[in-house]
Structure 1
Amino acid sequence: MHKLLTTTAALLLAVAGQPARAGDPEYPAKNIPASLKENAHIVKRLEETAIRINDLTDMRINRHYVVTVLDEAGANDARLVVPYSKLSEILSISGSLYDAEGKQIKRLKQSDIKDLSAVDDGSLMTDERLKAHQFYYNVYPYTVEYELSERVYSTLWFPTWMPQSDIDCTVEQSTLKVTTPADFTLRFRSYLYNGEPVTTTDKGTKTYAWEVKQIKALKSELNAVEFYRRTPAVFLGTTDFELDKYKGNSNSWKGLGAFFYQLNAGRDVLPDATKAKVHELIDGLHSREEKIKTLYKFMQRNSRYISIQLGIGGWQTFDAASVATKGYGDCKALSNYMMALLKEAGIKSNCVSVKAGENAHTIREDFPSSQFNHVILCVPGEKDTTWLECTNPYLPAGYLGGFTDNRPVLLLDEKDSKLVRTPVYGMDFNQQIRHINATIDSSGNMALSAVKVTSGLQQDDLRDAIHRLSRERQLELLRKGLGLSSYDIVDYSYKELETATPAIEEMMKVKGNNYATVTGKRMFINPNIFARDGVKLEPDSSRQSDIRLNMAYRDVDSVEIILPVGYQPESVPTPVSLSSKFGNYSATVILKGNTVTYIRKMERQSGTFPAAEYPELVKFYGGIYRADRNRLVLVKE
């Protein structure tokens, strides 16, 4: 299932084209308008995408495009990559290379096209392959032209039309035409496209046409929304579709979910030995929660994630008996297996299709279609719902993590498939609480011990590092994250806490060389030892994208520093308190005798905020940046 999104996205970037036309068109770079060169690395001079739907199992996609590469940074974007599998066929590929003047200097030879397996580290076996080609040329600017043709044997998914492939890609002209039988229902959803497509009818067919011209480069904007919401894009779909002789309807989420449910129905039968093991594990347990946790741990310890994608296998799961016997499966297979274990225990659960990824919190909810790349498990309860990520052997039961949290997902059910939402982990859940005790000598050197407890989404990366990386690699990442100029880690340890919220406690001892700056009689100390991670944002009055903050969190640092004797305060930072719709921040420094106490608290909200509020975000983070770097000034008596 995780291959679906990759295949669908790649289809747009490198699907088929029109038959080669007589004569070689010339595209001199000097003809590109100056406005389309500004902030651009590549210019899409021409793109013509034509899709013809003959029936539910025969879709032809032709694509002809011309791209001018302005500099080295755009070279990789001019590569040709065309995926295919048992569900699609590449009919033809042709191409040419032109110099800056538009003179053809090379034609694509079929022998230059590489035919590669699309297998990755997580796949044991796949029939997905790709054809790839690149004109290795480095005299800029230059232009490449490709024409491609492909046949797809399903109408479950369509290529997306998004002429601007990235912020540094500009577009002179791009067109999309979709031709269907006259009685065929084509569904589409557009973003930032003015007006409706032009429609025409001819001899029992209907054609829809979209066109854009003169699209300029976009700016890189921090915490921007999804790219398809920032540039013209059209998503396509059908009402009825067919996949490898299985027919479905995607006019509603209920209909699409019913298709996937039926595709995998009856594949949750366990071997007798596994059924016996289930009862051996849970028959002495009384609570539903204990049974779920016990079976989840059993599944985690006795199976592993590995992908096998052959034909319809990207959508249809291996049966539970295969996973029980072989000990591995992909996300669908492991979730289905876990569902079968719970079924044997008398606990109902549902597989759930999800668009996974730390920055993939939305789907087009008003456009039912195959937008998912992963499967997890939902265990409904009378009061609480338990969510299970079945591909990760280290997560506690009931916790999903940032890979699938806080997003709409499609719950698959025989009678009532629907969009539901995965858990939202709020500020009280995602915390980092740190206590530091430090001593600074008269030379400015520092010795400290610190205890930090990180919970919720804030501990995801740390948990992954603990279980997947060597001790040496863990320490390497720790050193990079401390932010001290010169130091030695004397000791470091950690433990995973048995708490309701997933949490990890870290303990460390550090010696910092010349942490405090000593100049003559004065000593300059920043009491904020580890939390100087504020971002200094640049003002941008022309911000276009809304602001997306995905995770709410709270960080609290309590620092106690013992100073060398013989120093008196000359300047002590005043308390700072900042408040905005994006969060709250406070920092206080108290000096009593030769002891400095520093308390820093940072709370950030999550959500999507209008672009017009970006100046307030700049002001908020600017205040934090300055406060985090305030220094205590001491003078020697």
Structure 2
Amino acid sequence: MKKFVYSAFFWLFCSSFILGQVKWPAAAIPENLRENAHAVMRKSETFYTVRNSGEGQRKVHYIVTILDQQGIEYSTLTVRYDKLSKVTNIEGTLYNTLGEKIKTLKKSDISDQSGISNTNLFDDVRYKVGQFNYASFPFTVEFSYEETDRNMLSYESWYPHFDSENLAVEQDFFKISVPASLDLRYKELNGIGAAVTEENNGIKSYSWMVKNLPVLEKEPYAPRKIKYGPGVITAPNEFEVEGYQGKMSSWKDLGEFDNVLCKNRDILPEETIAEVKQLTSGITDPVQKVKKLYEYMQNKTRYISIQLGIGGWQPFEAKYVAEKGYGDCKALSNFMKSILKSANIESYYTSIQAGDDKADILTDFPSQQFNHVILCVPMKQDSIWLECTSQTNPFGYLSDFTSDRHALLATPEGGKLVMTPGYGEKDNLQHRNIQVVLNEEGDAEAETSMLFTGILQDDYASAISRMNDDEQKKFMYSQIHIPNFDLVKFSIQNEKKTIPVSKVKNSLLIRKCASKSGTRMFLNPNLMSVFNQILPVTDKSRKHDVELINAYTETDSVMFQLPAKAIIEAQPAPVNIETAFGKYQSEVKIKDQKLYYYRKFIRKRGIFPPGSYAELADFYKKISKADRAQVVMKL
């Protein structure tokens, strides 16, 4: 019966193909592209034409087969546009498993949606969304559209894998054309291959093609810079945006363009200048002056994004922020810069790629790679860095949102690329002191006193500033990794320092803190810091370096008051492991019917060679084993 069904399917497939009804049959996808894939890009073409320094055109056409529910996102076309761009000629076609056309995208299937978010007061970002509501897998969709672009600060970037872990690529083609007088800068990434170039009638073209790329294999702890897989990033030497002209053949040029956008936007109302003078009267230490004025800015303003045309790049005037009390990262940083200027303190408007765990920019390729603006205040000793969008950040603290990466200072001499400060294992601390009373049934009462500093306190600081009492309690439940417990009471206190501190106290009732079997009780003395990160190890050779981003130090001191009848039968031996990636120590001691557990884990940051991955995996495996070691008691 199965043989008959397969034969019938094959006959139907062949018949349809001969009759010309089949275009993209799912059965034609090579088997190696199906492995670990939820979708396969059958064919993709992107043509980007630079008409002049102020305008470009993008033409996109692609066909993708969705293999299962996890790939359903590819059945929707989403195209962003705004005041500086226009989307036209959207077309779409739906094909069934056999590759037969079953539907064409109608105008009624295309919606026009606002891109305004909760933090955006005004925003001209919108989305054209075309969608097929179909889920008989596998099926295929074909989309195409055209876009006119007048935001020429950025040219097209091309990543065949779309930064997806489960998309295979059968064929993808990218071509960019520019007038010979403008030139083009580009950078080929992660083994994409060399460009094919040609020149006709004063137009230079550069093209790349890839075929038969399986699902992108993302190795654990691979450097952030390779996460997109093979690709190409392009950029202009000269550009124009809404009448503002600039260059970016060097970082100096790009920073100078920021100066052009900020020119004459630092004028403050007289009453604001008077407030600044009053606030800083009698303060002689420049650092304390900056601190006083930063806290003044925090109390006076709030973050709301306003993105309209060139406003996506240019800050609103300082006077506007002073009067309205709000602004986006550009406006608030410019406002803070203007305040400091009125106090005769120099500072630099600073562009940066923000985000937790974000890849650093490509420092050898000057281009618009930034999504955020902060402020740098140069001092004789160390520069002061100010996150101007936060009403709660401690003075001089960046958090992992903007720390340890390159940023572009807009100095009077032009752009200057520098590193923001990073936070190491001495800055990011977690100290736990826990007192536990264990009864004969294995239940327990616990009092915890915890201290978090640096980036490890970020979540707790956010809980205080943004959550009500009920939300804070839910948050605390999410932070305590014990199987069965009740949170009786808790408190969180924050200390605003350059390296900020959160102090957290909990009272807990823990059910089955220790498990019983007959007259024996089994206890894991590591109550709250069990390491769960087991890294996969395969026979394949590691391709990429190992990058550890965040460094930190954890220390635990736990005291268990044991039941009066408990007799220790077995306890874990002390563990001491030291590697290039960090250090781990743990020890159990028994005294006066009390069990004392000590643990210390230091994780370092850095980039290590590919061959070191197996050593890292072994290190983490040993930590996980030591963290699960049990004490055996007889009652």
Greater shift in the superposed pair: 104-113 or 304-313: 104-113
* Match of residue 402, structure 1, among 392, 400, 403: 400
Structure 1: unaligned runs, 5 residues or longer: 1-22
SS at 1:402's partner residue?
helix
The corresponding residue for 1:626 is 625
Determine if contact 2:189/2:231 at 8 Å carries over to the other structure.
yes
Tell me how far apart the structure 2 counterparts of residues 284 and 275 of structure 1 sit (CA, whole Å). 16
> Residues 529-559 of structure 1, C-alpha deviation per residue, up to 9 Å, x if partnerless?
1111331222133244433221100000011
Question: What do the CA deviations read for 1:69-97 (whole angstroms, capped 9, x no partner)?
Answer: 11111111231111111111113111111
- Aligned residue number for residue 47 of structure 2: 50
- Checking the alignment, whether the CA contact within 8 Å between 1:540 and 1:615 is kept in structure 2 is no
Q: How does 1:177-188 map to 2 (within 5 A)?
A: 177-188=175-186
Give the match's secondary structure for 1:412.
strand
CA contact (8 A) 1:361 1:408 kept: no
Distance in 2 (alpha carbons) for counterparts of 1:79 and 1:506 = 45
Match of residue 110 from structure 2 = 113
Aligned to 1:11: none
Q: Deviations over 1:374-424 (max 9, x none)?
A: 000000001121100000111111000010000001011221421111111
CA distance, structure 1, for counterparts of residue 433 and residue 190 of structure 2: 49
Residue by residue over 1:449-496, the C-alpha shift from the partner in whole angstroms, topping out at 9 and shown as x without a partner, is 111110001001111111101111111121232222222222211211
The 8 Å contact of residues 352 and 377 in structure 1, kept in 2 or not, is answered as: yes
Instruction: Tell me the equivalent position of 1:36.
Output: 33
Give the letter for the 2:148 counterpart: R
Hey, what does 1:584 align to over in structure 2?
583
Which residue, 510, 513, 516 being the options, matches 1:512?
510
Whole-Å separation in 2 of the counterparts to 1:373 and 1:258: 17
Q: 1:228 to 1:85 in 2, by over 3 A?
A: farther
> Which amino acid in 2 is paired with 1:348?
E
Query: What SS does the aligned partner of 1:200 have?
Result: strand
What residue ranges of structure 2 are gaps of 5+ in the alignment? 1-19
Would the aligned equivalents of 1:230 and 1:545 in 2 still touch at CA under 8 Å? no
CA distance in 1, matches of 2:21, 2:177: 27
- Output aligned runs, 1:49-448, within 5 Å: 49-165=46-162, 166-226=164-224, 228-229=226-227, 231-448=229-446
The code of the aligned residue for 1:527 comes to P
Task: Point out the more displaced range, 242-251 or 494-503.
Answer: 494-503
Do the aligned partners of 1:191 and 1:229 also contact (CA within 8 Å) in 2?
A: no
Is the CA contact (8 Å cut-off) linking 1:168 and 1:217 kept in structure 2?
yes
Q: Write out aligned runs for 1:535-546 (5 A).
A: 535-542=533-540, 543-546=542-545
Q: Does the 8 Å contact 1:361/1:406 carry over to 2? A: no
Query: Is the CA contact (8 Å cut-off) linking 2:249 and 2:366 kept in structure 1?
Result: yes
Give the TM-score normalised by structure 2.
Answer: 0.94
Query: CA separation in 1, counterparts of 2:75 and 2:375?
Result: 40
**Secondary structure in structure 2 of the residue aligned to 1:347:** coil
Distance apart, 1:363 and its partner CA: 0.6
The one-letter amino acid of 1:117's match is S
Task: Among all aligned residue pairs of Structure 1 and Structure 2, give the percentage whose two residues are the same amino acid.
Answer: 39
Q: Please provide the CA RMSD for this pair.
A: 1.5
- Match of 1:260, SS state, is helix
Q: Which residue of 1 aligns with 2:501?
A: 503
Q: Name the residue aligned to 2:520.
A: 522
Question: What code does the residue aligned with 1:503 have?
Answer: V
Equivalent residues of 1:541, 1:615 under 8 A apart: no
Where do 1:525-604 residues align within 5 Å?
525-542=523-540, 543-604=542-603
Give yes or no for contact 1:224–1:546 (8 Å, CA) kept in 2.
Answer: yes
Q: In structure 2, do the counterparts of structure 1 residues 227 and 418 end up closer, same or farther at CA, with 3 Å as the change threshold? A: closer
Alpha-carbon distance, 1:24 to partner = 8.5
Go from structure 1 to structure 2 and tell me whether the alpha carbon gap of 1:147 and 1:458 turns closer, same or farther (over 3 Å shift).
same
Q: Which amino acid aligns with 1:74?
A: G
Once residues 483 and 403 of structure 1 are traced to their aligned partners in structure 2, the CA distance between those partners, rounded to angstroms, is 25
Letter in 2 for 1:576: V
Q: 1:327 to 1:450 in 2, by over 3 A?
A: same
Change (3 A) 1:25 1:239: farther
Give how far 1:25 is off. 7.4
Residue 419 of structure 1 aligns to a residue in which SS?
strand
In structure 2, relative to structure 1, the CA distance for the partners of 1:402 and 1:427 (3 Å cut) is same
TM-score by length of 1: 0.94
What letter corresponds to residue 236 of structure 1 in structure 2? T
| Pick aligned residue for 1:492 from 490, 493, 507 | 490
Offset, 1:154: 3.5
Do the aligned partners of residues 541 and 461 (structure 1) sit closer, same or farther apart at CA in structure 2, a change above 3 Å counting? farther
- The aligned length equals 614
What letter corresponds to residue 299 of structure 1 in structure 2? M
Q: Post-superposition, which runs of at least 4 consecutive aligned residues in structure 1 deviate over 6 A?
A: none
